[in-house]
Structure 1
Amino acid sequence: MAKSTTDLFCDFCGKDRAHVEKLIAGANVNICNECVKLCDQILGDQKEKPREESKLQDLDPHKIREHLDQHVIGQDHAKMVISVAVAEHYKRVYKPPKNLELEKSNVLLVGPTGTGKTLLAKTIARYLDVPFTIADATTLTEAGYVGDDVESVIAKLLDKSDYDVTRAQQGIIFLDEVDKIARKSENVSITRDVSGEGVQQALLKLIEGTIVRVPPQGGRKHPNAEMIEVDTTNILFICSGTFIGIEDILKNKSDHTSIGFQSRLKKLTIASELYEKLDQNDLTKFGLIPEFIGRLSTIGILNELTQDELVRIISEPKHSIEKQYQWSFKIDGIELKLPIDAKKAIAIKAEKLGTFARGLRQIIEKVLLPWQYNAKQLVAEGVTELVIRPETIDKGTDPVIIREDSTKTNRRKVEN
């Protein structure tokens, strides 16, 4: 029996006739114009998914590398390695051969802190438009111990995917500081290693591919609770670490030890040269178990950044630090200038601190903070430009302040 006109309401959202623009009435059900619009959006989103997947089906390592070049300075070897690894991974996912089983190839990035390991992974995920999450290996423990069990990283990825299992299963997990879960020695321990070798063992199946049961909406596991099943087979794992001390292992190799394609290790003193000689045996000696290393067959090496590269990082990337701060000051009405000598001072300071690219923003933030705080007051006083000098970076002296009444001659002197 149809509803009377006095009690008509939308059967989907519950709004009555007086509170919606239009109400479409059926035999025993009604729907308002707002719910129709929502349904149309849902159907439209579903139609767009095949187009997103088509990008993953035909990835070109050169195009991936070109995108990385817009955001990451230097690290040519690591860019090439990760571009090929990502293209091959999704090729295996979307174009699997009929009579050939392809092994999953995850990535290990090795290099000092502040060289761009995390940025590479983030940039790749943005380019691919896939869910991405970062997990710290040092916080992971075996199931049953205090801390996050290894399956928690899948729960984080699922959360980033808005609990869309299909999207989560083609996402990327960045597992940082895997060098910190190395066992303490090469000898197999008979005691329980909760946060070292034990975690490596727990990660094996996860990285290789298994079904993980995750509680919905970030809840806790419970025997009677409904769980979401996630297949990790097609999730790309990018692991990274600084591996402090591994250079000693490399230096101790004899001149007659063969590495890779029958090459010989010479007396090397530069860290970048040492890292280029890194192989899986060295990682085993460092404390990673062979089975875990075997799941990370693609190794990318990142070198310490030079001063010139640090200077370029300040201004050249698409979303560089310089552009971000210039935008912030421009909103308040001030033009911020960072001459090349000031950028060199910032780069030298970051290098001395050992923070490299990671420390650039902190150095600039510390210098500009009081000027950001007083920006509106400066504008009211007629200030139009701030020019950062090396002394501003090194000694904390004030930048050059240019006001509306400054002559063009004085401006040219400052800029030169």
Structure 2
Amino acid sequence: MLKAGKPKVERINLTQKQNFLFNFDLKPVELENYLDEYLIGQKEAKGIIATKICTHFHKAKNLLLKSHRLDNVGFIKNNIIIIGPTGVGKTYTLKLIAHKLGVPFAKGDATKYSETGYVGGDVEDLIRDLYYEADGDLEKARFGIVYLDEIDKIASPGDIIGPDVSRTGVQRALLKLLEETQVEIRTPQEGLQMLEFPEENRNKKGKTTLNTKYILFVVSGAFQGLEEIIKKRLKKQSLGFLSEIEKKEEQKINYLKFVTPEDLVNYGFEREFVGRFPVIAVFDPLTEEELFEILANPNNVIVLNKKRDFKVYGIDLAFTDSAFREIAKEALKEGTGARALARILERILIPFERTLPSYQINILGVTEELVKDPEGYLRAMLSNPESQKWDEAYREAIFAERDRIHLYLEKKKTQNQKLPLEITPKRLNLLFDIYKSEEVEVTHALEELSSIYRQVKAYEGSFSKRNQIQAIFTDEAIDYVMEEVLKRDQGVFTFCERALARLEYTFSFLKETTKRNRFYITKMAFLDQDKFLEELLKS
């Protein structure tokens, strides 16, 4: 039950142990760059969302770090309305942000709720879900994100007789949550007890409550029909530039970009409800090129999940660019955005997933030919499994995948995004090996490779300190160590200790006799130590 009256001001001690905000220093551009790793297109919407979410948490941090005399100063939240068609990445964007920030994330469907006191879900359950997502950590839950989808479905048409408990009623019920109120946290068992023994539980004290002051709310929907409202308003205003644009048939206007709060009121939302959302972000429909880029992105979970499906049968799956372009073309016709990509991939590949595990076939290169006629391609494979055609298709696909990773890394460089380590040709091969063997996003593969690199540099420092010298591993030596520990599934320190143990005496001897302190550890030190020592002594 929502509680009326002045909200209780709770003291929050912003300490390193208790709150993630203590070390929060993420900048809007950094968050936007992170979204770019996974989400194709939507540049304007990503910029708005990344900026306002970063600002929300920085503002909360600033307020909490100030003296308590400022606690009662109004805190206006950057609650966000996201407008856009299905399958363009609205939910995915918020999940990525919550993951990056490390905050709890609760998602709900607006159509499941009704006004408090009526049959249907209670909107306060959203806050309780957030508490459970935070594993019962009250401090963490206070800075979570609540995401409510299908919000356009609770807009009231205005012609309903009697109480509209599932539309306008839900809007009214959300109002206090959107600003600040106390929500009592109940476990499912407590909820049942309240129903069975209401008198006994009515006056129970010591309940856990969660304050919504710093919880960020994001709502989204496709808003069918809103475009017509906007178009009508713009035509009434006789905007000259709009008339000029409309005359050009090739120019398709996204009228949702011109949305105003008044348009949302006319759509069926309470003025007070719209006022609680000062930020509006509009997602564009995906183009055929963007659908292709989604598939070609080496962080794309749709393609990676399909590869994992085949991997369980020991079959390695790879895709050519032309196959992705054909899939993107088909997906555009369906008009459901990125969701169509997953459906088309399943439709094309299920016959292979069902049949190939029964044959001694462990590779499959997905080409344009396969996409256009999967059944015919499968019949040809089974009738002549020894044909070189299948190996050639797989090789073409593998080269295409490697090129896509190279392009991904080059793009990061052009955008001045710093890579965790310099990518030499050898390291690109190692990165691709991790990406293929573990079927993970390239960002994860890059982090794994950079983690091994950091371990090598850490060993370099440890080796230097122990022997009181300056040991410098050459790039070639580092690449060799990284390759070997990946191949052997062995720790860096264990591998290097075994390989370099006999060299320590030589370094100590040279240091004493030649007063030399700096030594370069080359690849030869691992492959042929006698030759390495011979060259070292000569130098």
RMSD (Å) for aligned C-alpha atoms: 2.9
CA distance 1:309–1:195, shift in 2 (3 Å): same
Task: Say which of 285, 296, 302 aligns to 2:283.
Answer: 302
Which residue pairs with 1:54 in the alignment?
A: 22
Q: Does structure 2 retain, via aligned residues, the 8 Å contact 1:256–1:264?
A: no
TM-score w.r.t. length of structure 2: 0.61
Q: Deviations over 1:281-318 (max 9, x none)?
A: 11111111111111111100100000111111113052
- Indicate the SS of the match to 1:332: coil
CA distance 1:212–1:388, shift in 2 (3 Å): same
Q: Does structure 2 retain, via aligned residues, the 8 Å contact 1:257–1:264?
A: no
Q: Does structure 2 retain, via aligned residues, the 8 Å contact 1:109–1:299?
A: yes
Which residue pairs with 1:158 in the alignment?
A: 131
Which residue pairs with 1:142 in the alignment?
A: 115
Determine if the alignment matches structure 1 residue 387 to structure 2 residue 365.
yes
Alignment map for 1:207-222 (pairs within 5 Å)? 207-216=178-187, 219-220=190-191, 222=194
Which residue pairs with 2:512 in the alignment?
A: none
Letter in 2 for 1:307: E
Determine if the alignment matches structure 1 residue 397 to structure 2 residue 365.
no
How far residue 52 of structure 1 moved from its aligned partner, in angstroms, is 3.4
- Indicate the SS of the match to 1:145: coil
Bigger RCO of structures 1 and 2 (CA < 8 A, at least 6 apart): 1
- Indicate the SS of the match to 1:234: coil
Larger Rg: 2
Letter in 2 for 1:92: K
Which residue pairs with 2:221 in the alignment?
A: 241
Q: Does structure 1 retain, via aligned residues, the 8 Å contact 2:82–2:283?
A: yes
Which residue pairs with 1:204 in the alignment?
A: 175
CA distance 1:60–1:399, shift in 2 (3 Å): farther
How far residue 190 of structure 1 moved from its aligned partner, in angstroms, is 6.5
CA distance in 1: counterparts of 2:223 and 2:306, whole angstroms: 33
Worse-matched range after superposition: 86-95 or 360-369: 360-369
CA distance 1:405–1:177, shift in 2 (3 Å): same
CA distance 1:201–1:397, shift in 2 (3 Å): same
Alignment map for 1:156-305 (pairs within 5 Å)? 156-185=129-158, 191-216=162-187, 219-220=190-191, 222=194, 223=198, 224=201, 227-255=207-235, 257=237, 265-266=242-243, 268=246, 273-305=254-286
Percent identity over the alignment? 34
Task: Say which of 32, 36, 44 aligns to 1:65.
Answer: 32
Q: Deviations over 1:32-66 (max 9, x none)?
A: xxxxxxxxxxxxxxx9745833343x220011001
Letter in 2 for 1:275: L
Which residue pairs with 1:353 in the alignment?
A: 334
Determine if the alignment matches structure 1 residue 78 to structure 2 residue 31.
no
Which residue pairs with 1:22 in the alignment?
A: none
Q: Deviations over 1:356-377 (max 9, x none)?
A: 1122112212322232234432
CA distance 1:170–1:414, shift in 2 (3 Å): closer
Q: Does structure 1 retain, via aligned residues, the 8 Å contact 2:349–2:374?
A: no
Q: Does structure 2 retain, via aligned residues, the 8 Å contact 1:367–1:393?
A: yes
CA distance 1:194–1:360, shift in 2 (3 Å): same
CA distance in 2: counterparts of 1:87 and 1:118, whole angstroms: 18
CA distance 1:256–1:272, shift in 2 (3 Å): closer
- Indicate the SS of the match to 1:253: helix
Which residue pairs with 1:32 in the alignment?
A: none
Worse-matched range after superposition: 223-232 or 115-124: 223-232
Mark the runs of 5 or more structure 2 residues left unpaired by the alignment. 1-14, 398-539
- Indicate the SS of the match to 2:392: helix
Alignment map for 1:317-396 (pairs within 5 Å)? 318-378=299-359, 381=360, 383-390=361-368, 392-396=370-374
CA distance 1:242–1:408, shift in 2 (3 Å): closer
Worse-matched range after superposition: 402-411 or 87-96: 402-411
Alignment map for 1:1-150 (pairs within 5 Å)? 49=17, 52-56=20-24, 58-96=25-63, 101-150=74-123
CA distance in 2: counterparts of 1:272 and 1:214, whole angstroms: 46
Letter in 1 for 2:155: A
- Indicate the SS of the match to 2:317: strand
Q: Deviations over 1:3-33 (max 9, x none)?
A: xxxxxxxxxxxxxxxxxxxxxxxxxxxxxxx
Structure with the bigger percentage of strand? 1
Mark the runs of 5 or more structure 1 residues left unpaired by the alignment. 1-46
TM-score w.r.t. length of structure 1: 0.78
Q: Does structure 2 retain, via aligned residues, the 8 Å contact 1:155–1:218?
A: no
CA distance in 1: counterparts of 2:288 and 2:390, whole angstroms: 32
How far residue 81 of structure 1 moved from its aligned partner, in angstroms, is 0.6
